[in-house]
């Protein structure tokens, strides 16, 4: 079982530096306390007996739920209702060079 380790003020300053945050001493202490409680909760989860349980990827067994990708014809008048610019039966787009 892993050893319990509490978060130190130095750890909080390092995390704040990584996140480019400027924390006050009061904020450092608040975050230290909050993160320590979160880690304490994870240590309780670690105590659960998971021996022999298969890994869970999805709670509900679902496989590929997408429809088959089949080409189909759309009526051009229906397609040309949406674009802001069109010329004849074509959609106009900005020139890309």
Domain boundaries, the chain: 9-46
Q: Give the count of beta carbons closer than 10 Å to the beta carbon of residue 35.
A: 15
**CATH no., domain 9-46:** 1.10.20
Alpha carbon distance 46, 8 (integer Å)? 22
User: What is the percent of the chain with per-residue pLDDT over 90, rounded to a whole number?
Assistant: 32
Phi and psi torsions of 26, nearest 5°: -65, -45
Task: Of 12-26, 32-46, 57-71, 79-93, give the lowest mean pLDDT range.
Answer: 57-71
Question: CB–CB of 35/12 below 8 Å?
Answer: yes
pLDDT at 94 over 90: no
pLDDT in tens, 46-82: 888 888 888 877 777 777 778 788 888 888 788 888 8
Q: Give the count of beta carbons closer than 10 Å to the beta carbon of residue 12.
A: 22
């Amino acid at each position: 079982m892993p050893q319990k380790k509490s978060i130190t003020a130095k750890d909080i300053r390092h995390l704040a530096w990584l996140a480019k945050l400027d924390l006050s001493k009061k904020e450092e202490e608040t975050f230290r306390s909050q993160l320590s409680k979160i880690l304490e909760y994870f240590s309780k989860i670690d105590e659960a007996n998971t021996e022999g349980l298969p890994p869970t990827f999805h709670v509900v067994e679902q496989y590929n739920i997408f429809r088959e990708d089949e080409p189909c014809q759309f009526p051009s008048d229906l397609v040309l209702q949406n674009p802001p610019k069109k010329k004849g039966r074509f959609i106009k787009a900005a020139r890309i060079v």
